[in-house]
């Protein structure tokens, strides 16, 4: 890198001398000298680019160690994609994610057993009071899903609340077939469950038939159980289930950014203290997320890049 810097100085010096000589030369000589100066300047630019690239490569080689992330199962697809891309860019770094729920993730970063706590919800005032910083890295929509054969395609906010609190127990009460509703949800401590219940204002009021410990388990249960209803992250939707519109609005990136779809929540990579206070590895990970490559990872898994 030092050698490239010397070459750059030498080339710039050549360019300056060549341009100075223009004043004492004829028109044709001046043109030739100017061309030489331009070529020298071009070589200088190339050398500068090589120096910058060399600096980035050196930084990648120098960065080594491990990053631990604990938290939301809803963030698994995104976190795995991010970890793989980051480790490919920095071969000396190992990123170790665990997916055990948002509550456990915040607890881990609070007690210092994890560098980052992943939460698929906003932090509570109590968590923030403990010095935990809410770094929103993506926006996720929560989709309400039913089994593919279900006739119901749209629910109001009140109908959804009534289903989950047990006020409505048969699909015929909301325009569907005469069949009991099987209410599927996530386990206590899940960020998806917390966000879902908070957005509907039905915390601790739900009458679940099944409380499952992962997004994948909810998808599988709803797909295989006639009359069931569940909630999952927008990015995991596939044709094994049917996504229901809410208040006439289908879940999508466009409807969430427009503010038309009410079931959406942040994906948070929480740190103890600000990002600037973290070690070099964690800071590099957040820097990477802010690049075009990092933003492409967010969108590639069906999430939304937060508006600055």
Whether residue 219 sits in one domain with residue 274: no
Structural domain including 278 reads: 64-137+267-300
* The last residue of a domain, from among 33, 61, 89: 61
Contacts of 80 (CB under 8 A, 6+ apart): 97
pLDDT digits (tens, 9 = 90+) for 249-277: 999 988 988 889 999 989 999 999 999 99
pLDDT digits (tens, 9 = 90+) for 148-171: 999 999 999 999 999 999 999 999
Burial 280-295 (b: 16+ CB within 10 A, else e): ebbebbbebbeeeebe
pLDDT digits (tens, 9 = 90+) for 33-70: 445 545 655 555 555 445 444 445 545 668 999 999 99
Other beta carbons less than 10 A from residue 298's beta carbon = 21
CB 105 within 8 A of CB 127: no
- Residue 185 to residue 216: CA distance in whole angstroms: 12
Query: Considering just the CA atoms, what is the radius of gyration of the chain in Å?
Result: 28
Whether residue 190 sits in one domain with residue 256: yes
Averaged pLDDT, 109-122: 96
Largest alpha-carbon pair distance within the chain? Answer: 98
Whether residue 70 sits in one domain with residue 101: yes
């Amino acid at each position: 890198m030092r050698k490239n810097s010397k070459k750059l100085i030498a080339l710039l010096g050549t360019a300056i001398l060549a341009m100075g000589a223009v004043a004492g030369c004829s028109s044709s000589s001046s043109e030739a000298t100017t061309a030489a100066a331009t070529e020298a300047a071009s070589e200088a630019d190339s050398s500068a680019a090589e120096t910058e690239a060399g600096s980035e490569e050196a930084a990648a080689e120098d960065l080594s160690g491990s990053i631990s992330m604990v938290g939301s199962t809803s963030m698994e697809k995104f976190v795995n994609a991010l970890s793989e891309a980051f480790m490919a860019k920095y071969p000396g770094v190992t990123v170790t994610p665990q997916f055990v729920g948002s509550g456990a993730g915040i607890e881990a970063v609070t007690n210092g057993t994890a560098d980052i706590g992943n939460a698929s919800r906003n932090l509570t005032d109590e968590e923030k009071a403990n010095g935990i910083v809410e770094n929103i890295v993506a926006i996720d929509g929560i989709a309400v899903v039913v089994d593919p054969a279900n006739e119901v395609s749209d629910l109001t906010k009140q109908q959804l609340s009534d289903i989950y609190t047990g006020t409505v127990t048969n699909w015929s009460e909301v325009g569907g077939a005469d069949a009991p509703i099987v209410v599927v949800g996530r386990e206590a401590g899940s960020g998806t469950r917390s966000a879902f219940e908070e957005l509907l204002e039905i915390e601790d009021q739900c009458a679940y038939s099944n409380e499952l410990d992962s997004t994948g388990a909810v998808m599988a249960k709803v797909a295989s159980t006639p009359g069931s209803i569940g909630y999952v992250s927008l990015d995991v939707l596939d044709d094994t289930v049917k996504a229901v519109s809410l208040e006439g609005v289908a879940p999508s990136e466009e409807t969430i950014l427009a503010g038309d779809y009410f079931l959406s929540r942040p994906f948070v990579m929480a740190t103890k203290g600000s990002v600037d206070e973290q070690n070099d590895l964690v800071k590099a990970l957040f820097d990477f997320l802010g690049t075009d490559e990092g933003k492409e990872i967010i969108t590639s898994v069906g999430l939304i890049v937060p508006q600055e």
